[in-house]
């Protein structure tokens, strides 16, 4: 027997003696056979009907009884879960309905102008719905990652962008409405997670502080930074107060800081994107978009400056007056400035018919009847509205164009018609209206009249300017132009004082500097006269 054969026989004998045999187990095939065999076996069903007794007292429990009891327990658990789901749904719906009714009652009695505007109501409902959807998604994401990363459940409020509602509505509608709707969204969010008081409390604090912080934002960069800093700082400080009273692990502090920064970044980015979207869909304006309109490079303002320079200068002066007066009474100064710059853009169409643009002695109104002249003057309101729509100017600014004259009387042409014609109707010489209502529109309306009147004063002094402003205010009051103005008597007094101060600084008399009799000798722009009376030409540079 050869050596290889001996080795093979030896291996075989060892395998037999050790009991391993000469076969290997195929795990995959064995598992597949087991599965096929198990699938061929039909499940044994035990049917238990209503009022059937599964096991009696003192009776020996069999394996079949245990299976029946386990199945009964599982069925009861599923029914209880379904019942709890329905109860929670009804509970959440009930309290949400109560909050909606309270919100509607508040808006109807505290902010009736909001409830009369379908656009504002639609905006509030849309912002609330989007915020609630985002909050619910944030909760689910927190539950998912907290189970993986072992994040403490106490940090759930930090993961919810509760400030988003207030931040959006503050810049689009107003702070008071934003604060209330922000609290409403926070309470509904608390109901969704089984009444977490911390969520409602943190939502109220974030809505109050972040709304105040973003309120004065004048541009989009400022709005983004204010939102990010306020949300991150507020969330972190609320957690810091909680950490101060309770012992917190370093990992919990790290997660708190991470959630605060993530919440702030998401809120700021989402607010920016949603503002752009809402400005496009609802045609709303914010201080940021109004600041863009205040840029003198706007096509309409550039055209006004080129075609009607006198009106352009007048509008700029009115903007200064209106902005200062709005600050004095706490109105929206940016809106007042934007409205003042655009209120007379209709004069672009026929600039020569307005005295501030007519630099010659030829007055085109001399060739027209008083009625025709008044029609041309009043048409600048309609022309302005058409141009504003063409350039997609927001509704808030279009109100200034439409209402800044109210139903004021064009006195010059009316009195001219009274002296030359019979049966003159006063309504033919009045602007079509409507009367100004908003604080900012009323301010611009008064500033427009005061600036134009004070410019016509000869040798204006502080007393003359004050008398002129007081006279205009009295005439507007007696003529009913302020009947619908959303202003108090105290606010009108503050506006009056602001106008007098600003106009005095604009048009006060300057000091008359003494004339230098020999000044012409040093002026290279005045041609020098030779003794014979001929001009002495100054050589051009480089040609001496």
pLDDT tens for 412-467 read 899 888 888 878 888 889 999 899 999 999 999 999 999 999 988 888 889 999 99
Looking at the fold, whether 414 and 458 belong to one and the same domain comes out as: yes
Q: Where are the alpha helices (DSSP H) in 215-332?
A: 220-245, 250-281, 287-293, 299-307, 309-329
Looking at the fold, whether 444 and 332 belong to one and the same domain comes out as: yes
Has residue 53 been placed in a domain? no
Distance CA 121, CA 127 (A): 10
Looking at the fold, whether 261 and 294 belong to one and the same domain comes out as: no
Has residue 57 been placed in a domain? no
pLDDT at 154: 78
Q: Which residues pair with 535 in a beta bridge?
A: 529
Looking at the fold, whether 237 and 326 belong to one and the same domain comes out as: no
Q: Which of 284, 301, 328 is the last residue of a domain?
A: 284
Would the pLDDT of 522 be above 60? no
Looking at the fold, whether 198 and 150 belong to one and the same domain comes out as: yes
Has residue 73 been placed in a domain? no
Tokens read off for 212: 């105040």
Looking at the fold, whether 256 and 373 belong to one and the same domain comes out as: no
Q: How confident is the model at residue 1 (pLDDT cuts 50, 70, 90)?
A: low
Question: Region 251-270: what's the mean pLDDT?
Answer: 89
Distance CA 179, CA 107 (A): 12
Q: For the chain, give the number of residues.
A: 544
Please give the full DSSP string across 440-453, using - where no structure is assigned.
HHHHHHHHHHHHHH
The residue among 353 and 74 whose pLDDT is bigger is 353
From 90-99, 126-135, 477-486, the region with the lowest mean pLDDT? 90-99
Looking at the fold, whether 118 and 232 belong to one and the same domain comes out as: yes
Looking at the fold, whether 254 and 330 belong to one and the same domain comes out as: no
Distance CA 213, CA 184 (A): 20
Asked if residue 500 lies in contact with residue 448, where contact means CB atoms within 8 angstroms, the answer is no
Would the pLDDT of 543 be above 50? no
Based on the structure, what is the number of domains in the chain? Answer: 2
Has residue 70 been placed in a domain? no
Distance CA 328, CA 323 (A): 9
Please give the full DSSP string across 350-374, using - where no structure is assigned.
SGGGSGGG--SS--GGGGS-HHHHH
Would the pLDDT of 526 be above 60? no
Has residue 212 been placed in a domain? yes
Question: 469, exposed or middle or buried, with CB in 10 Å at 0-12, 13-18, 19+?
Answer: buried
Distance CA 199, CA 320 (A): 45
Looking at the fold, whether 245 and 305 belong to one and the same domain comes out as: no
The residue among 516 and 535 whose pLDDT is bigger is 516
Q: Which domain holds residue 235?
A: 96-284
Looking at the fold, whether 381 and 255 belong to one and the same domain comes out as: no
pTM over 0.85: no
pLDDT at 236: 84
The residue among 171 and 104 whose pLDDT is bigger is 171
Distance CA 130, CA 169 (A): 12
pLDDT at 161: 94
pLDDT at 485: 93
Asked if residue 301 lies in contact with residue 312, where contact means CB atoms within 8 angstroms, the answer is yes
Question: Region 30-40: what's the mean pLDDT?
Answer: 77
Q: Which residues pair with 327 in a beta bridge?
A: none
pLDDT tens for 318-372 read 999 999 999 999 999 999 999 999 999 999 999 999 988 887 778 888 888 889 9
Has residue 44 been placed in a domain? no
User: What CA–CA distances, in Å, run from 474 to 277, 429, 453?
Assistant: 44, 20, 14
Has residue 503 been placed in a domain? yes
């Amino acid at each position: 027997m050869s050596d290889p054969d001996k080795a093979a026989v030896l291996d075989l004998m060892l395998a037999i003696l050790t009991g391993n045999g000469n076969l290997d187990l195929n795990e995959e095939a064995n598992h597949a056979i087991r599965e096929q065999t198990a699938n061929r076996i039909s499940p044994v069903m035990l049917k238990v009907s209503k009022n059937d007794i599964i096991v009696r007292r003192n009776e020996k429990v069999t394996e079949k009884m245990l299976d029946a009891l386990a199945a009964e327990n599982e069925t009861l658990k599923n029914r209880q879960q379904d019942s709890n789901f329905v109860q929670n749904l009804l509970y959440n719906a009930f309290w949400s309905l109560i909050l909606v009714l309270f919100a509607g009652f508040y808006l109807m009695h505290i902010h009736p102008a909001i409830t009369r505007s379908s656009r504002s109501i639609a905006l509030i409902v849309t912002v609330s719905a989007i915020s609630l959807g985002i909050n619910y998604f944030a909760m689910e994401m927190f539950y998912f990652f907290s189970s993986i990363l072992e994040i403490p459940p106490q940090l759930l409020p930090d993961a919810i962008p509760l400030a988003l509602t207030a931040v959006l509505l503050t810049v689009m509608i107003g702070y008071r409405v934003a604060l209330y709707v922000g609290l409403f969204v926070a309470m509904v969010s608390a109901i969704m997670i089984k009444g977490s008081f911390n969520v409602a409390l943190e939502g109220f604090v974030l809505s109050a502080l972040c709304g105040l912080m973003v309120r004065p934002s004048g541009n989009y960069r400022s709005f983004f930074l204010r939102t990010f800093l306020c949300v991150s700082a507020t969330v972190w400080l609320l957690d810091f107060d909680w950490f101060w009273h309770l012992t917190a692990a370093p990992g919990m502090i790290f997660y708190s800081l991470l959630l605060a920064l993530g919440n702030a970044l998401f809120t700021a980015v989402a607010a920016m994107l949603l503002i752009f979207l809402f400005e496009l869909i609802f045609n709303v304006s914010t201080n940021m978009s109004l600041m863009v309109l205040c840029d003198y490079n706007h096509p309409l303002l550039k055209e006004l400056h080129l075609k009607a320079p006198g009106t352009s200068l007048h509008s700029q002066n009115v903007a200064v007056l209106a902005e200062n007066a709005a600050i004095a009474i706490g109105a929206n100064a940016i809106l007042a400035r934007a409205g003042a710059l655009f209120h007379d853009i209709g004069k672009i169409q026929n600039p020569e018919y307005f005295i501030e643009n007519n630099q010659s002695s030829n007055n085109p109104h001399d060739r027209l009847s008083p009625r025709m002249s008044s029609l041309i003057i009043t048409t600048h309101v309609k022309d302005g509205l058409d141009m504003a729509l063409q350039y997609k100017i927001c509704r808030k600014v279009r109100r200034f164009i439409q209402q800044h004259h109210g139903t004021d009387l064009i006195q010059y042409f009316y009195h001219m018609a009274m002296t030359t014609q019979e049966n003159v109707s006063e309504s033919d010489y009045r602007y079509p209206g409507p009367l100004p209502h908003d604080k900012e529109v009323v301010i611009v309306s008064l500033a427009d009249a005061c600036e134009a009147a004070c410019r016509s004063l000869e040798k204006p002094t502080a007393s003359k300017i004050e008398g002129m402003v007081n006279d205009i205010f009295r005439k507007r009051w007696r003529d009913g132009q302020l009947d619908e103005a959303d202003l108090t008597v105290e606010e009108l007094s503050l506006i009056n004082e602001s106008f007098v101060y600003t106009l005095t600084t604009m048009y006060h008399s300057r000091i008359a500097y003494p004339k230098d009799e020999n000044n012409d000798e040093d002026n290279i722009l005045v041609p020098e006269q030779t003794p014979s009376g001929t001009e002495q030409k100054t050589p051009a540079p480089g040609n001496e």
